[in-house]
């Protein structure tokens, strides 16, 4: 066979499939809380890799969160993210077309820990770039159709 064969783009359904299998296996093996800690560490490692791809020029938390969100949009993790600063220490994060929404909802219902890779990347970015941490208030998490995931959260930020 001659010539190169290009890699096909990954179908978001496959990412959802892998997310469920990996998160479920880790939750079964280590428990929900230990798995959540492992996923937090994965976010820290991922942030180190992200810094090689993205230049964080601002230390404003909303700007840092937007930069991570825009990266995830470009990579196809979600179709769109909107971040709205409510106050100096509160941001509404709205995500549409989230590729792993089905597995995240299913894992949560089963008492397992979802990876929350977006959240954990953003937590690491806030910590490293801004010296901040966040607590999250879930406002909406739904999957209105098999191809459409939607989540809306309020992030409350504080200095470490």
pTM recorded for the entire structure: 0.90
Annotated domain spans of the chain:
12-159
Q: What's the pLDDT at 50?
A: 97
> What is the tens place of the pLDDT at every residue in 35-74?
999 999 999 999 999 999 998 999 999 999 999 999 999 9
Q: What's the pLDDT at 72?
A: 96
Q: Which residue has the higher pLDDT, 17 or 141?
A: 17
Q: What's the pLDDT at 51?
A: 96
40 neighbors 121 (Cβ within 8 angstroms): no
23 neighbors 115 (Cβ within 8 angstroms): yes
Band of the pLDDT at 147, cuts 50, 70, 90? low
Angle (deg, nearest 10), helices 12-30 and 32-53? 130
Kindly provide the residue ranges of all beta strands, DSSP E only, lying in 42-131, ordered along the sequence: 80-87, 90-96
Q: How far is the CA of 77 from the CAs of 17, 18, 50, 92, 125, in angstroms?
A: 13, 13, 14, 19, 17
> What is the tens place of the pLDDT at every residue in 114-145?
999 999 999 999 999 999 999 998 777 666 66
- Residue 34 predicted with pLDDT over 60: yes
Angle (deg, nearest 10), helices 61-75 and 32-53? 90
Specify the CATH class of 12-159 in words. alpha beta
């Amino acid at each position: 066979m001659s010539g190169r064969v290009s890699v096909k783009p990954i179908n978001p359904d496959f990412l959802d499939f892998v997310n469920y299998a990996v998160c479920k296996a880790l939750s079964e093996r280590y428990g929900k809380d230990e798995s959540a800690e492992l996923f937090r560490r994965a976010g820290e490692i991922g942030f180190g890799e992200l810094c090689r791809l993205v230049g964080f020029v601002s230390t404003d938390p909303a700007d840092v969160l937007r930069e991570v969100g825009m990266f995830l949009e470009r990579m196809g993790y979600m179709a769109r993210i909107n971040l709205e600063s409510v106050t100096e220490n509160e941001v509404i994060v709205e995500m549409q077309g989230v590729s792993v929404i089905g597995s995240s909802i299913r894992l949560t219902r089963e008492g397992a820990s979802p990876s929350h890779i977006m959240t954990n990347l953003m937590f690491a970015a806030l910590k490293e770039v801004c010296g901040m941490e966040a607590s999250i208030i879930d406002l909406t998490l739904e999957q209105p159709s098999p191809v459409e995931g939607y989540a809306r959260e309020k992030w409350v930020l504080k200095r470490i």
